[in-house]
Structure 1
Amino acid sequence: MEIKQNASAGTTESSDILITLAQNDAKGIHIDLDSSVEKQFGRQIRAKIQETLEKLAVTNVKVNAVDKGALDCTIEARTIAAVYRAAGEEMIDWQVIQSWNV
């Protein structure tokens, strides 16, 4: 999926994550993480964002993530929502996303 515009999903409330996406002219996926639990879970949070982007075929994107202790399912959901918004997609293909967990 191609990132066409800046977009975000989530909040900075406790147990949530704010994911903001922008085009990356330098190519590749660049993740900037600010997390209250970065020392314990920073690697896992980055991996979940990276994994979700790869499943959605996003190859060039700058990610700014502000985490306040979100669970993996929340990180994945916020990343999916931000990608679809940034790609200008109106409808999410839930059948594809549901097949990830099978």
Structure 2
Amino acid sequence: MEIFQRSYAGTLESSDLLVEVAPAYESSIEVEISSSVEKQFEPAIRRVVMTTLDELGVKSARISINDKGALDCVIRARVQAAVLRAAQGEECHQLVWGAI
């Protein structure tokens, strides 16, 4: 899935996170994580983000995460929402929701 524009999903409330997705200038995925629980959970947050991007077929993007203690299911949902908003293509309509 190709990222065409900048998009956001989520909030800065407790137990949530704000995800920003933007097109990357190079063919790579860059993930920046800022979290109130970064020392303990940064690897776990990064793993959920990268797995979700892989399942959506994202090959190139800049992702910024501002986490306020969100659970994995919330991280996954916010990343999915931000990516789908940023993609705006026919690929979005061809997703098999049961697979993701």
1:29 aligns with 2:29: yes
Deviation readout 1:7-53 (Å, 9 max, x if unpaired): 01000100001100001112211000000001110000011001100
What's the offset of the Cα at 1:88? 1.4
Counterpart-to-counterpart distance in 2, 1:57 and 1:23 = 14
Partner of residue 51, structure 2: 51
Give the share of equivalent positions with the same residue, in percent.
Answer: 46
Counterpart-to-counterpart distance in 1, 2:89 and 2:67 = 25
SS at the partner of 1:97? coil
Deviation readout 1:33-91 (Å, 9 max, x if unpaired): 0000011100000110011001000010000000000000000000000000000159x
SS at the partner of 1:79? helix
Counterpart-to-counterpart distance in 1, 2:96 and 2:41 = 27
1:76 aligns with 2:76: yes
Partner of residue 62, structure 2: 62
What's the offset of the Cα at 1:96? 2.3
Counterpart-to-counterpart distance in 2, 1:97 and 1:38 = 30
Equivalenced residues, count: 100
SS at the partner of 1:73? helix
Counterpart-to-counterpart distance in 2, 1:29 and 1:96 = 23
What stretches of structure 1 move > 2 A for 4+ residues in a row?
95-100
